[in-house]
């Protein structure tokens, strides 16, 4: 232990430092500058970047004692008091900030390299930022922000104001691109994420995880761990026996393994101690006696009778490891296939994919007179609220879930998690707050990512290119527990019934348990892999028919205002417009089949739900509720349970309320995702928030408006219809009434006090009268198309995507800047799954649980992305809006595969399409061609 002096952001600190402590740890834990983020602790994400004596370093690998006496600058020291640095201003203005977790590192890295190279090219910017991972933005707006800063600094004319704006005189607020309301806080590093929040006197929790995939737990000896000074509690699974799971029908998980472990990495014991180091050390002293049971890793094998071996989960009447089967049939697939002029049956194989959000899970829990409070990185405060109450055996009124800023989710923070149950329990027995934060390895082990999938599609088309039948047979690998898996099982099938007309459509899907970390929901939930299969097969048919694949798609698109074969109600539909747009921009007609060898272009389409019409918990409660309150100060308080995880939902709510009331955002204050303060919203998943919470906010604002209208009209004796709400005023055209907003509020609150209103969203009754009809039902669907251009290295097989043109029918973009960000992030994430990402297992043990071997594309791998928002004005969406956060990922992956085919003539039926696989395919094709000759 040593005392060192550090000058951090101009202030001198004398801190006690342990010999091997990192600078990141000192900054975050001892100096309380938590703008420096930890994403990996292995120097592979860049989130912890700071300056030491003017030089850029990753503080997670910088020993604190090395920098004794140094001058350190963190993100908190970049703004000049409250004046943002111009680069920070650009990040805000350009929408370069979504979840904000990578932002501090991005700013620090950019500032460092701009010092060295003040006039960089775009490629130089991409190179410079290529050690900083971002999962939200696809780097597009980050690069734009840096470029724009450079241009202004060099006194070049900046490009015309980028903020996308859609010509709409109808709206004042809706439709104008604007930064997130909290962007300034995020860009300064002062937005608090779960691990940044320090609750006084909190203990730290660490876990011992199973080293066996499937094993009976005979005994856990915690005596040595308990004896370590500083250890406050050691806990095993027996203390929390109540099961939970996000779906009421899959309550198959406990906070820790109790009788047996079901995957390598499952929590078997937890230690709460004074420091993380002590907790970690104590975990290493816990001895678990296991008897291995035969593990199951192969999903095909898990569909079959397992003989005398032990099932992963006991329930279910059959002697196999199938978790869920689903089958639906419409029309007659066999007849349709038989009648088709062309028929193809293709097998596909997909690896698991992880969300890769930059912020690892973290939570702090404590108990007081109000019961349990937990601050946690979650997408679904409401479900966590329910299951904490269940597992802690207290009524829901004794549980409060608070979501702080969240560093991305993409589905990976949308389950109630074991670690949340454990810290809740430990803090209860200890009477002291308990905190936990995951390492990146633990994030991967916790998983809940996209299911590994094996599927077969049997499809037929006529000579005219009309799809005659589609039959899918799917197995998905759920891992050890249920999570959202029942929904995923259905989605792999049902979400094939659009965007094309199908009369004969059927599927059988099965989800199996295996002894691997569980899978769950991830962006594009359940339909990404099956969409890949169908879109690449459509390309094959186009090839067979010698028809342009865009043409084939145009011929088959569903109309607007129609029903699908499975009775989905399609309202607005921008498929045709989207595809036309990307064809035009990419100059498709000049390129398709016309590019030289090794250079190709490909297309695909997709669609997705704007939230599920049926809630997970079947009750009559609305899917979203928003409350408004306004008092004499005129500021409208918006409270909503919707979780902003970086997608911008807080800003969306503010815009909608401001639009209805004729206000600017200065008069709006959003409090969201705190289960005690805010009304229930079901959470940020299935791309539901803009549609559902947006509608609830709109309704609440309209009701508030009505209250003010009534009061003002009565007081001033004018007809309600004469009053307008605009520019923070309430007035009549003849100015007989001409009130400021605050005056109007004052008028309306006389004798009654603060005004309140409630808005709620209930999905209309939808769907057919058959079992399974509810799966994939949504009040509205988004549609979209992507064209990508690639270059394939003929010698190594390496695929470089050189352009992505995307168009997405988002109904109406409430905040076009945020919508673009969602689309760009989706396309970028899809590119990762297409080319480089996979979860690789060795006997059930995840081999690549780090950000070096799990290969999220860097800025350097990212091509120009050309983003187009298509607006079809949905009849039921708020101001016509529908989803934009998930659907866009569907078309990009097959579009890349189809471009690879155009480039080198190989069809990949498994992902990722990495260099090795492409080369292998090219070689086997060559052999095949040689054989033919």
Cα separation values, 336 from 333, 342, 455, 509, Å: 5, 11, 20, 20
Residue 116 or 734 having the CB closest to another protein = 116
29 binds another protein (CB under 8 A): no
Of 91, 101, 113, 879, the one binding another protein (CB under 8 A) is 113
The stretch among 124-132, 214-222, 540-548, 675-683 that binds another protein (CB under 8 A) is: 124-132
Of 9, 44, 573, 610, the one binding another protein (CB under 8 A) is 44
19 binds another protein (CB under 8 A): yes
Of 46, 816, 887, 894, the one binding another protein (CB under 8 A) is 46
853 binds another protein (CB under 8 A): yes
Tokens 């579009």 sit at which residue?
895
Write out the binding residues for another protein, residues 47-66 only, by CB under 8 A.
Answer: 49, 55-58, 60-63, 65-66
69 binds another protein (CB under 8 A): no
Per-residue binder mask for another protein (CB under 8 A), 181-210, x = binder: ----------------------------x-
Tokens 């309430």 sit at which residue?
730
Of 795, 875, 927, 929, the one binding another protein (CB under 8 A) is 795
Contacts with another protein: how many residues (CB under 8 A)?
70
CB of 853 to another protein, least distance (A): 6
Q: Which two tokens stand for residue 916?
A: 């090795």
Residue 129 or 701 having the CB closest to another protein = 129
41 binds another protein (CB under 8 A): yes
Name the DSSP class of 489. H
**Phi, psi for 531 (deg, rounded to 5):** -65, -40
852 binds another protein (CB under 8 A): yes
Inter-residue contact 798 to 906 (CB < 8 Å): no
Q: Of 80, 101, 81, 94, which is closest to residue 125 (Cα–Cα)? A: 94
The dihedral sign for the CA sequence 313, 316, 319, 322:
negative
Inter-residue contact 106 to 187 (CB < 8 Å): no
Residue 338 or 847 having the CB closest to another protein = 847
Q: Which residues 6+ apart lie within 8 Å of 197 measured at CB? A: 364, 375, 404
Greatest alpha-carbon span in the chain: 93
843 binds another protein (CB under 8 A): yes
42 binds another protein (CB under 8 A): yes
Tokens 């779906």 sit at which residue?
247
Inter-residue contact 421 to 240 (CB < 8 Å): yes
Residue 499, preceding peptide bond in cis (omega within 30° of 0): yes
Of 43, 71, 873, 925, the one binding another protein (CB under 8 A) is 43
Cα separation values, 187 from 36, 80, 87, 108, 692, Å: 11, 13, 10, 11, 29
Give the C-alpha separation, 545 to 113, whole Å: 52
32 binds another protein (CB under 8 A): no
Inter-residue contact 654 to 818 (CB < 8 Å): no
Residue 221 or 853 having the CB closest to another protein = 853
849 binds another protein (CB under 8 A): yes
CB of 829 to another protein, least distance (A): 14
CB of 52 to another protein, least distance (A): 10
Of 115, 327, 633, 916, the one binding another protein (CB under 8 A) is 916
Inter-residue contact 38 to 53 (CB < 8 Å): no
441 binds another protein (CB under 8 A): yes
What are the strands of the beta sheet with 260-261, ordered from one edge?
A: 260-261, 215-221, 287-292
What is the distance between the terminal CA atoms of the chain, rounded to a whole angstrom?
75
Of 29, 30, 71, 130, the one binding another protein (CB under 8 A) is 130
Residue 58 or 898 having the CB closest to another protein = 58
264 binds another protein (CB under 8 A): yes
CB of 803 to another protein, least distance (A): 16
Q: Which residues 6+ apart lie within 8 Å of 930 measured at CB? A: none
CB of 514 to another protein, least distance (A): 16
Residue 718 or 794 having the CB closest to another protein = 794
Q: With the CA atoms of 33, 34, 39 and 43 taken in that order, what torsion angle do they form, in degrees rounded to the nearest 10?
A: 0
Residue 43 or 742 having the CB closest to another protein = 43
CB of 896 to another protein, least distance (A): 14
CB of 40 to another protein, least distance (A): 9
| DSSP states of 424-476 | HHHHHHHTS-EEEE--HHHHHHH--BBPPEEEEEEEEE-TTS-EEEEEEEEEE
439 binds another protein (CB under 8 A): yes
Of 243, 758, 909, 915, the one binding another protein (CB under 8 A) is 915
- Give the 3-state secondary structure of residue 322: strand
Around 572, how many Cα atoms within 13 Å sit in the side-chain half-sphere? Answer: 26
List alpha helices for 836-914, DSSP H. 889-904
CB of 123 to another protein, least distance (A): 11
The stretch among 156-164, 273-281, 677-685, 696-704 that binds another protein (CB under 8 A) is: 273-281
Tokens 């002293």 sit at which residue?
285
CB of 271 to another protein, least distance (A): 13
Q: Which residues 6+ apart lie within 8 Å of 418 measured at CB? A: 253, 254, 255, 256, 267
Q: Which two tokens stand for residue 857?
A: 């594309």
70 binds another protein (CB under 8 A): no
860 binds another protein (CB under 8 A): yes
List alpha helices for 252-371, DSSP H. 276-284, 333-339
Helix and strand element counts for the chain (H, E):
23, 36
Residue 66 or 736 having the CB closest to another protein = 66
CB of 56 to another protein, least distance (A): 6
447 binds another protein (CB under 8 A): no
The stretch among 548-556, 683-691, 762-770, 835-843 that binds another protein (CB under 8 A) is: 835-843
Tokens 């342009």 sit at which residue?
548
Of 381, 460, 857, 878, the one binding another protein (CB under 8 A) is 857
**Phi, psi for 80 (deg, rounded to 5):** -90, 100
Write out the binding residues for another protein, residues 279-318 only, by CB under 8 A.
Answer: 281, 284
Of 258, 394, 671, 845, the one binding another protein (CB under 8 A) is 845
Inter-residue contact 357 to 413 (CB < 8 Å): yes
859 binds another protein (CB under 8 A): yes
71 binds another protein (CB under 8 A): no
Inter-residue contact 445 to 849 (CB < 8 Å): yes
Write out the binding residues for another protein, residues 370-389 only, by CB under 8 A.
Answer: none
Binding site for another protein (CB under 8 A): 2, 18-20, 22, 41-44, 46, 49, 55-58, 60-63, 65-66, 68, 109, 112-113, 127-133, 209, 211-212, 228-229, 264, 277-278, 281, 284, 439, 441, 795-796, 798, 835-836, 840, 842-843, 845, 847-849, 851-853, 855, 857-861, 914-916, 919-920
């Amino acid at each position: 232990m040593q005392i060192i002096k550090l000058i951090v952001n101009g202030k001198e600190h004398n801190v006690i430092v342990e010999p091997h402590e990192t600078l990141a740890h000192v900054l975050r834990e001892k100096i309380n500058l938590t703008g420096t983020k930890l994403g990996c602790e292995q120097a592979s994400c860049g989130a912890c970047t700071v300056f030491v004596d003017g030089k850029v370093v990753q503080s997670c690998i910088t020993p604190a004692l090395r920098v004794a006496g140094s001058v350190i600058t963190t993100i908190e020291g970049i703004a000049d008091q409250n004046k943002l640095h111009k680069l920070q201003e650009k990040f805000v203005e350009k929408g370069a900030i979504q979840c904000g977790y990578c932002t501090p590192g991005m700013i620090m890295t950019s500032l460092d390299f701009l010092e060295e190279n003040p006039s960089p090219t775009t490629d130089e910017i991409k190179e410079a930022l290529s050690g900083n991972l971002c999962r939200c933005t696809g780097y597009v707006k980050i690069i734009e922000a840096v470029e724009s800063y450079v241009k202004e600094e060099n006194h070049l004319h900046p490009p015309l104001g980028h903020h996308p704006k859609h010509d709409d005189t109808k709206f004042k607020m809706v439709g104008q691109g604007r930064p997130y309301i909290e962007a300034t806080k995020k860009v300064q590093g002062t937005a608090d994420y779960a691990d940044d929040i320090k609750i006084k006197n909190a203990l730290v929790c660490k876990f011992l995880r199973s080293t066996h995939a499937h094993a009976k737990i005979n005994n856990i000896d915690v005596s040595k761990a308990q004896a370590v000074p500083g250890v406050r509690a050691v806990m095993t699974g027996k203390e929390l026996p109540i099961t939970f799971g996000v779906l009421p029908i899959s309550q198959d998980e406990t906070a820790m393994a109790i009788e047996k472990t079901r995957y390598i990495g499952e929590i078997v014991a937890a230690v709460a101690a004074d420091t993380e180091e002590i907790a970690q050390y104590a975990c290493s002293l816990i001895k678990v006696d296991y008897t291995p049971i035969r593990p199951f890793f192969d999903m095909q094998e898990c569909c079959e009778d397992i003989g005398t071996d032990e099932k992963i989960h006991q329930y279910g009447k059959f002697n196999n490891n199938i978790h869920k089967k689903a089958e639906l049939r419409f029309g007659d697939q066999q007849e349709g296939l038989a009648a088709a002029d062309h028929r193809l049956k293709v097998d596909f194989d997909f690896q698991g994919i992880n969300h890769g959000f930059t912020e690892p899970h973290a939570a702090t829990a404590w108990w007081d007179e109000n019961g349990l409070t937990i601050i946690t990185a979650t997408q679904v405060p409401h479900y966590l609220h329910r299951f904490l109450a269940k597992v802690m055996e207290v009524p829901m009124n004794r549980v409060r879930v608070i979501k702080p800023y969240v560093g991305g989710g993409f589905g990976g923070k949308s389950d109630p998690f074991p670690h949340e149950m454990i810290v809740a329990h430990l803090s209860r027995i200890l009477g002291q707050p308990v905190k936990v934060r995951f390492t990146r390895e633990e994030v991967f082990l916790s998983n809940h990512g996209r299911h590994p999938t094996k599927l077969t599609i049997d499809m037929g088309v006529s000579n005219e290119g009309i799809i005659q039948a589609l039959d899918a047979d799917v197995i998905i690998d759920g891992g050890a527990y249920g999570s959202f898996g029942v929904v995923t099982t259905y989605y792999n099938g049902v979400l094939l019934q659009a965007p094309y007309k199908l009369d004969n459509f059927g599927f059988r899907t099965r989800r199996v348990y295996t002894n691997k970390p569980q899978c769950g929901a991830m962006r594009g939930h359940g339909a990404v892999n099956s969409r890949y299969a169908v879109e690449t097969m459509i390309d094959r048919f186009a090839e067979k028919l010698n028809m342009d694949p865009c043409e084939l798609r145009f011929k088959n698109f569903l109309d607007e205002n129609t029903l699908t074969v499975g009775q989905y109600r399609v309202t607005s539909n921008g498929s045709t417009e989207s595809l036309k747009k990307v064809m035009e921009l990419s100059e498709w007609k000049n390129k398709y089949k016309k590019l030289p060898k090794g250079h190709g272009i490909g297309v695909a389409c997709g669609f997705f739900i704007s939230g599920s019409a049926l809630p997970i918990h079947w009750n009559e409660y609305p899917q979203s509720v928003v409350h408004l309150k306004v008092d004499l100060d005129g500021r409208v308080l918006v409270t909503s349970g919707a979780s902003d995880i970086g997608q911008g939902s807080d800003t969306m709510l503010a815009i909608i309320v401001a639009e209805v009331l004729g206000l600017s955002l200065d008069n709006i204050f959003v409090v969201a995702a705190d289960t005690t303060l805010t009304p229930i919203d079901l959470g940020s998943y299935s791309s539901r928030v803009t549609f559902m919470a947006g509608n609830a906010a709109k309704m609440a604002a309209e009701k508030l408006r009505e209250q003010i209208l009534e009061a003002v009209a009565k007081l001033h004796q004018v007809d309600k219809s004469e009053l307008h709400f605009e520019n923070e005023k309430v007035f009549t055209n003849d100015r007989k009434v001409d009130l400021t907003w605050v005056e109007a509020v004052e008028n309306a609150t006389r004798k009654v006090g603060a005004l309140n209103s409630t808005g709620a969203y209930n999905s209309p009754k939808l769907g057919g009268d058959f079992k399974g009809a509810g799966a994939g039902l949504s009040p509205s669907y988004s549609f979209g198309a992507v064209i990508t251009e690639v270059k394939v290295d003929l010698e190594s097989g390496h695929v470089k995507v050189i352009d992505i043109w995307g168009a997405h029918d988002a109904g109406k973009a409430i905040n076009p800047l945020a919508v673009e960000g969602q689309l760009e992030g989706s396309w970028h994430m899809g590119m990762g799954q297409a080319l480089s990402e996979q979860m690789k297992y060795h006997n059930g043990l995840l081999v690549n649980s780090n950000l070096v071997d799990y290969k999220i594309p860097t800025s350097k791998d990212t091509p120009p992305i050309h983003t187009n928002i298509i607006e079809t004005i949905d009849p039921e969406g708020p101001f016509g809006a529908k989803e934009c956060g998930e659907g866009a990922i569907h078309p990009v992956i097959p579009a890349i595969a189809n471009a690879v085919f155009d480039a080198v003539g190989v069809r990949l039926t498994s992902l990722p399409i990495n260099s090795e696989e492409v080369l292998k395919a090219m070689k086997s094709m060559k052999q095949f061609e040689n054989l033919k000759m």
